[in-house]
Amino acid sequence: MEKETSMKGVLDSFIDSYTKRDRSIGFSDWLEGQLRQEMPDMSEEEGNRLAGEIIDGVSSYDETLDRLNAAIDAGQSKEEWLAERLDETYDATGERLQQIEESFSDSNVQLMRGIGETQAEVPEAAGTGSIEWNEYSIKDKAYRIGKQAILSGMAVGANMVKDRVQGDGTADIADIVRDTLQDGIKEDPREVKAVVAGAIKAAAEKGTVDIPDETICDMAGVAVESAEALYDAACGESTMTEAMDRIGRASVAAGCRYCAKMLKGIVSCLPFGPLLVGLGGCL
C-alpha cells in the first residue's frame, strides 16, 4: 500500500503540473523540467535525453497498437498477430519462451485471485520436456503466450473495475479518470501517456516501484488506454464489452513489446499484470 500511495503522489504531481503548464512551452521541454524537478540530481542533458526517450517510447507503443488494430480489422486474431510478431523477433532458446509463458501464467493466477475468480481457468504453462524446438513448436508456444497475454489484459481491466467500484462502496466507474486527466486524454493521448511514463520513471528512481526503463512506456500506454476505455463505457460512449476488448488490445500490444525484449534478453521476467493493476489504481 505504501508503494502504491507513493506512486499516486508522484503521478498526481505530474498531472497537476501538466494541466497547469504554460502552453507556450513545448511539451518536451515541460516534461524535461518536470523530470528534473522530481529528480533534482538529474542534469539538464540527462533530462533532455530521458524526455526524448519517453516520448519516442510512447510513440513506438502507439505504432505497435495501431498495427495490432489494423490486423484485427483485417480479420486476424490477437493470438495470431502476437504469435507472428514473436516469431519475427525470435532469437532465443526454447527455454526462454518457456520462461515468458510461465511468467504470464503466474501473473494471471495472481490477477484472477484479485477479482475473486479462484476457480477461473488460467491456461497452465506447458513444460518443455523433451520438445525439439523446431519452427512448429516455436509457433505453438508463441500462440500460447498470446492467449496468456490476452487473458492478462482482460484480468487487468476486471481488477481495475473491481478496485474502483469496491474501494469505498460509493465510487462510480465514471470516476476512473479525473476530469483533468480525461481532458488531457481527449486533447492529446500521447502526451498523457508520456506524463504517466514520466511519473513511473520518477517513482522508480525514488525507490517506490521497481520497473525497468524498457517497459515503462508500454505500461503507461496500457494504463491510459484502459482508463479511457473504462471512462467511455461509464459515460455510455461504448459498451463494457467493447471497453474490455480495447483493454485486451492495449495489453497485447504491450505484451508483444515486452516479450520481444525478453526474447532478446533485454529485460527479465516481472509480474507485468499485477504492476499494471497497481498503476491503474492510481489513475
**Which has the closest alpha carbon to 157: 225, 59, 73, 79?**
225
The pLDDT assigned to 130 comes to 44
Which grid coordinates are listed for 207?
525507490
Q: Is 26 exposed, middle or buried (0-12, 13-18, 19+ CB in 10 A)?
A: exposed
Mean pLDDT over 139-147 rounds to 75
Secondary structure class of 80 (helix, strand, coil): helix
Element (H, E) at 127: none
Helix residue ranges, H only, the chain = 2-19, 27-38, 44-73, 78-89, 94-114, 135-166, 179-187, 189-205, 213-234, 240-263, 272-280
**From CA 100, how far away is CA 60, in angstroms rounded?**
22
Radius of gyration, alpha carbons of the chain: 19
Which DSSP string corresponds to 48-78?
HHHHHHHHHHHHHHHHHHHHHHHHHHTT--H
* Cell of residue 24, nine digits: 507556450
- Give me the pLDDT at residue 208, please: 58
Q: Which pLDDT score is estimated for 274?
A: 63
∠ Cα 102 97 113 (to 5°)? 20
Q: What's the rounded mean pLDDT across residues 182-211?
A: 79
Burial state string for 204-218 with b = 16 or more CB within 10 A and e = fewer than 16: beeebbebeeebbbb
Q: What is the pLDDT of residues 101-138, one digit of tens each?
A: 777 777 777 777 766 654 455 555 555 444 456 666 76
Give φ, ψ of 28 to 5 degrees. Answer: -60, -40
Interatomic CA distance for residues 203 and 3, integer angstroms: 9
- Residue 204 corresponds to which cell in the numbers above? 522508480
Residue 191 and residue 27 in contact, taking contact as beta carbons nearer than 8 Å: yes
The predicted-structure confidence for 230-260, as pLDDT tens digits, reads as follows 778 878 888 988 988 888 888 888 888 887 7
**Residue range 48-101, pLDDT digits in tens:** 999 999 999 999 999 999 999 999 999 998 888 888 887 776 555 566 777 777
Quote the percentage of the chain above a pLDDT of 90. Answer: 22
Q: What is the rounded distance in angstroms from the CA atom of residue 203 to the CA atom of residue 200?
A: 5
> In the structure, what pLDDT confidence band is assigned to residue 177 with cuts at 50, 70 and 90?
very low
